[in-house]
Structure 1
């Protein structure tokens, strides 16, 4: 029986290019879809907590598209934390922290500025060679997300985003370049971040502006089918072009419990799990559209257009590992009056037995152990927790942050991971989300901080950008040094 973390366990941290890099026009990069999202300071903290800040409609999209004199403070993803220019400084901090693996995303618009370019941008490729080489030299493995929401803007304005099958071809060309030029630097590849996001956050997940979209749900599932095909093509290319690298699948995990012992709530819990979680992993890890979706598609009048060979491609090119983001759990019920709260990508039914973060996300470390057991039992594949962490207001005092609340959160979740390993789960890695403070994706704030490294910048991009070690930095460093023994 396993009693602790394996000796080669991959303790790490994760960021996304769109939330960290900045330098939105440096190095030959083109505009991407996240560059158009803008911060709305007129909204209250509660409105941001309720996700109103992240809602993108045609009015706001066109406003950003036609903004000829954009101010960086209004577009936080354009300035990020300037990781593009400060990555060497940051990697030194990562090495001091002792991480074994670094998860980051590659910005498609740095490699192909318009997405449909004939040739890749060499300056963009060189940036990632330099970044990943710096990691290798410090003994840090690279876990690369090929697409973390943002696509080159031209692929949306010219082709309509993921609804267009042509995006599969553009994506495959992009992946071929990555495998050819960066294959020697990357240990784990993730084709799509939170591939179920398209259902819950269409602009982020599938690059569809939702309001006014006819047959929105049908469009979303057509987009997701194209992403499934692109995911399978990535696995197929990896078999041909790479040796040793692993290709995985990732969802945003919505761990759900029946709200009561009523059979109706139990049935709703099963359906919520199928439609929000299992469907996406089933296609990528099992290789087929599960039967339970036949009923869903029929009832919702959804008709997915497939090309000859699609189902065979999915079946023959399943992933090597599974991963997920885990932040909270929720309850399933048929009671339409149940109290709601905020969560990753969604508004969720609130569990009265759990405490919530400042942003309303319910904290449930035992739910992580439950999730790990469920996912491993279903797929029998190695698991990497690709995201987990606590967003909170941090106060910098005397060059540090006394974030005991974050330490408590991480400690209880690491303990849950250990228990899952003892249960027999093949958990191989953990990349703490936003382990250096970055711009929050949902609320687009710096105020919502996840990191063990503080970045001196406010919601409007003001600050020195200096990096400071929080109290949690030293806690996580000791956790890594002792392989989870000292918490």
Structure 2
């Protein structure tokens, strides 16, 4: 099994779950820093997201580990509030720019191609206080000033830019993602519309500031199956897939609101939301690729009243194994997902996240015998290769996550990384999967065997 020579192997993190240092280096407070998640395990909750995995203090160490594994690509998210602490300050915070400059220098040292996501669920809190964040059109202008600033400052050093992380998930959890809760569907549409306007204009700014840079939207989703071949089950599956995935990819790739998407809001007068010229702005988007995140498949039937739980589609497939959080393990679903989106939209795909959350048992050195993670990744890589053989153009494969970080609702109880993090000391360690993935990268995916002897 061989991958294209130019294929990029790596992994991902994001600022709100990884950086920590919430009040250092001139950083402003974000919605993540004050987030409260009901039902979170007490042992997982240590200052919520404020400390995270303290990448801010371990930057050189962390990236050296990625260099040791041989990463060719690495996705991080930039914290808006490190650049503009209040979201709309007159001048950028130089300490924040310096932090990401340090990061890029380390990545450059090891020959790792950076991918930067510009927004990942960490809106500067001040913008919520000032005008309710993304509920206001003012947020678009402030976001675009931030985009313009960083894409000019880091011109030529970041090839791949993703304006928003899993933008389509706002429909399932607007409070977590934007810091404000949509009170009805019209308000939800307003938030989504403002994000779509910001996305389209961001793609143009990125190309204007760096003609060699690439950009595109990000869709997070599950592969949605009908539970049976009953047409009523198939209809629910189709509607779910269109609602959560395709309707948003139509915006990010085709620059248009589908009739299916707008039908959800047909009982509302949207003339005060969609202003003259807005649809032209959305139509002017300039995507170069489509980025996808995939963890699991779901099965729904005619009795599925609310298939969307939190920010993902939930529906247990009786033919698939699952982890303890009820996330199904379905490698074929990954291939189906890739084939479906590529043949619908005909853009190269950059896989931003794919991984398995698990309660790892760490020894005193932070080592874990995480064969379950290796098995998950191996079988998904095999299916990804089949998709490539069937014609899907894939830029690279980034797992979630490079290092253990603060999981969105389970803290360090739910781990994804090749590199472990001690929740108390923040000491790093290498799991078995660290050495396995290093071998995968060295052989460009030809050797997926978990026998490391």
What interval of TM-score do these two structures reach, taking the shorter chain for normalisation? over 0.9
Note the residue ranges of structure 1 that are not aligned, 5 or more in a row: 49-72, 458-462
| Cα distance in 2, alignment partners of residues 347 and 185 from structure 1 | 36
| Cα distance in 2, alignment partners of residues 349 and 319 from structure 1 | 32
- Secondary structure of the residue that 2:217 maps to in structure 1? strand
Find 1:170's aligned residue among 125, 142, 165.
Answer: 142
| Cα distance in 2, alignment partners of residues 318 and 258 from structure 1 | 34
Report the TM-score when normalising by structure 1.
Answer: 0.88
Matched residue, 1:6: 4
Aligned pair in 2 of structure 1 residues 111, 383: CA closer, same or farther (>3 Å)? same
Matched residue, 2:451: none
The offset of 1:316, in angstroms, is 2.1
- The answer as to whether partners of 1:391 and 1:449 remain within 8 angstroms in 2 is yes
Where do 4+ consecutive residues of structure 1 move more than 4 Å?
39-45
Note the residue ranges of structure 2 that are not aligned, 5 or more in a row: 449-453
| Cα distance in 2, alignment partners of residues 343 and 417 from structure 1 | 27
- The answer as to whether partners of 1:251 and 1:281 remain within 8 angstroms in 2 is yes
Matched residue, 1:83: 55
Question: CA offsets per residue over residues 205-236 of structure 1, 9 Å max, x none?
Answer: 232135xx3xx221112111111111111111
| Cα distance in 1, alignment partners of residues 262 and 377 from structure 2 | 40
Find 2:352's aligned residue among 383, 386, 392.
Answer: 386
Q: Which moved more, 1:235-244 or 1:201-210?
A: 201-210
- Secondary structure of the residue that 1:158 maps to in structure 2? helix
Matched residue, 1:254: 222
Question: CA offsets per residue over residues 116-162 of structure 1, 9 Å max, x none?
Answer: 21111111111111111210121001000000011100111111010
The offset of 1:270, in angstroms, is 1.4
| Cα distance in 2, alignment partners of residues 450 and 225 from structure 1 | 33
The offset of 1:289, in angstroms, is 0.8
- The answer as to whether partners of 1:38 and 1:75 remain within 8 angstroms in 2 is no
| Cα distance in 1, alignment partners of residues 61 and 407 from structure 2 | 21
Matched residue, 1:240: 208
Q: Does 1:366 align with 2:332?
A: yes
Aligned pair in 2 of structure 1 residues 114, 471: CA closer, same or farther (>3 Å)? same
Find 2:88's aligned residue among 93, 100, 116.
Answer: 116
- The answer as to whether partners of 1:406 and 1:472 remain within 8 angstroms in 2 is yes
The offset of 1:198, in angstroms, is 0.8
Aligned pair in 2 of structure 1 residues 367, 336: CA closer, same or farther (>3 Å)? closer
- The answer as to whether partners of 2:189 and 2:265 remain within 8 angstroms in 1 is no
- The answer as to whether partners of 1:330 and 1:348 remain within 8 angstroms in 2 is yes
The offset of 1:76, in angstroms, is 2.5
- The answer as to whether partners of 1:40 and 1:74 remain within 8 angstroms in 2 is no
Matched residue, 1:357: 323
Report the TM-score when normalising by structure 2.
Answer: 0.94
- The answer as to whether partners of 1:4 and 1:422 remain within 8 angstroms in 2 is no
Find 1:469's aligned residue among 413, 418, 430.
Answer: 430
Please list, as runs of the form range in 1=range in 2, the aligned pairs for 1:395-434 lying within 5 A after superposition.
395-399=361-365, 400-434=367-401
- Tell me the C-alpha RMSD between the 2 structures: 2.0
| Cα distance in 1, alignment partners of residues 353 and 371 from structure 2 | 20
The offset of 1:245, in angstroms, is 0.9
| Cα distance in 2, alignment partners of residues 276 and 378 from structure 1 | 15
